[in-house]
């Protein structure tokens, strides 16, 4: 697979219109997106809190992406499984990023992307035809097959190596140290929305690795990516809660021991 070319997109278009862009996207801190009036079958300003499991339901395909006639930036994805019971306003995780369905038909659905989402996630590398991991939000009756994934991407990592061992695939990812501190051996991490078990953490390299069995390789996007490409990372939320609790003085080991005695 060839690496994707990187180009820039000027958001300040005189006449915004929906266009398919076979290029990558870049937004700087000064980029501003002005939302126009919503059209029929669109919902905005939705407050939806969803939870995912990191068990990818299907791989969809990017049909088009670019500026829409309402002045925003839209991503259209071809899918099948996640469309079975979809409704306007539903949340679908796209490569681990929780996004809101604004339009849909029998073959594809549309989500809007803000400049901040494109800055913070690997979605900026998508192009027409790119495969993407898709998962609908967890329902109360669903099985928890992976771990609690919020769809709130913490940052991106970069694939630094891929090695085959038998029918399994080793993948090593470089991550910022601010994220690596939450990643532990045998712990969970969501990579492009896929719940995976960490094998080792290499603090001196600022990397971690994981192994994917043959079945998983055929069901998710990660094996299709090349060394050097970005992946979305979401660390286990429990580590953040513990860090916050200790930092705020909300838990004291001595006090806990005294109560126990």
Question: What's the CATH code of the domain at 74?
Answer: 2.40.30.20
Does some domain include residue 253? no
Does some domain include residue 102? yes
What is the mean pLDDT of the segment spanning 178-207? 96
Q: Give 93-132 as a 3 state SS string.
A: EECCEEEEEEEECCCEEEEECCHHHHHHCHHHHCCCCCEE
Q: How far, rounded to the nearest angstrom, does the alpha carbon of residue 210 sit from its chain's CA centroid?
A: 17
Does 192 score more than 70 pLDDT?
yes
Does some domain include residue 256? no
Query: What pLDDT was estimated at residue 216?
Result: 94
Query: What pLDDT was estimated at residue 86?
Result: 95
- For 18-67, what is each residue's pLDDT tens digit? 344 344 444 443 333 333 333 334 444 434 368 899 999 999 999 999 88
* Cα gap 150→105, rounded to integer Å: 26
* Cα gap 188→172, rounded to integer Å: 15
* Cα gap 241→73, rounded to integer Å: 34
* Cα gap 39→43, rounded to integer Å: 9
Does 239 score more than 70 pLDDT?
yes
Identify the residue whose tokens are 């499991």.
53
Percent of the chain exceeding pLDDT 90 equals 60
**Residues facing residue 62 across a β-bridge:** 77
Does some domain include residue 258? no
35-44, 59-68, 196-205, 212-221: least confident range: 35-44
Buried b (16+ CB within 10 A) or exposed e, 38-64: eeeebeeeeeeebbbbbbbbbbbebbb
- DSSP state letter for 122: G
Average model confidence (pLDDT) across the chain: 82
- For 120-141, what is each residue's pLDDT tens digit? 999 989 999 999 999 999 877 6
Q: CA quadruple 156, 134, 237, 169: dihedral positive or negative?
A: negative
What is the mean pLDDT of the segment spanning 220-249? 92
Phi, psi for 164 (deg, rounded to 5): -90, 135
Q: Which of 64-68, 233-237, 238-242: highest mean pLDDT?
A: 233-237
115 is written with which tokens?
């400049």
Does some domain include residue 35? no
Pairwise pLDDT comparison (41 vs 245), residue with the higher score:
245
Does some domain include residue 20? yes
Does some domain include residue 118? yes
Q: Which of 221, 226, 211, 210 is nearest to 160 (CA)?
A: 226
All residues at 6 or more sequence positions from 129 whose CB lies less than 8 Å from its CB, including other chains: 22, 61, 62
Q: Which of 45, 33, 99 is nearest to 71 (CA)?
A: 33
Does some domain include residue 220? yes
- For 58-98, what is each residue's pLDDT tens digit? 999 999 998 888 778 899 999 999 999 999 999 999 999 99
Does 233 score more than 70 pLDDT?
yes
Question: Confidence class of residue 1 from pLDDT cuts 50, 70 and 90?
Answer: very low
Rg (CA), the chain: 20
Question: Confidence class of residue 258 from pLDDT cuts 50, 70 and 90?
Answer: low
Domain with 183, as residue range(s), is 1-29+48-248
User: What is the total count of domains within the chain?
Assistant: 1
């Amino acid at each position: 697979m060839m690496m994707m070319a990187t180009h820039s997109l000027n958001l300040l278009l005189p006449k915004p219109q929906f266009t398919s862009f076979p290029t990558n996207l870049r937004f700087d801190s000064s980029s501003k997106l002005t939302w126009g009036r919503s059209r029929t079958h669109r919902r905005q300003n939705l407050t939806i809190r969803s939870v995912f499991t990191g068990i990818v339901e299907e791989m969809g395909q990017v049909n088009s992406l670019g500026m829409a006639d309402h002045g925003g930036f839209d991503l259209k994805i071809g899918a099948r499984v996640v469309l079975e019971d979809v409704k306007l306003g539903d949340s679908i995780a796209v490569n681990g990023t929780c996004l809101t369905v604004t339009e849909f038909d029998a073959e594809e659905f549309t989500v809007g992307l803000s400049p901040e989402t494109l800055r913070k996630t690997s979605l900026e590398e998508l192009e027409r035809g790119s495969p993407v991991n898709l998962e609908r939000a967890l329902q109360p009756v669903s099985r928890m097959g992976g771990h609690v994934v919020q769809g709130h991407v913490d940052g991106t990592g970069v694939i630094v190596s891929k090695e085959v061992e038998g029918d399994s695939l080793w993948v090593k990812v470089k991550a910022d140290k601010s994220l690596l501190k939450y990643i532990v051996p045998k712990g969970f991490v969501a990579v492009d929305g896929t719940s995976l078990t960490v094998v080792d953490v290499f603090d001196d390299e600022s990397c971690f690795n994981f192994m994917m069995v043959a079945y998983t390789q055929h069901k998710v996007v990660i094996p299709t990516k090349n060394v050097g490409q970005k992946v979305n990372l979401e660390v286990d939320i429990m580590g953040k809660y513990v860090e916050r609790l200790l930092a705020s003085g909300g838990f004291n080991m001595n006090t806990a021991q005294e109560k126990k005695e």
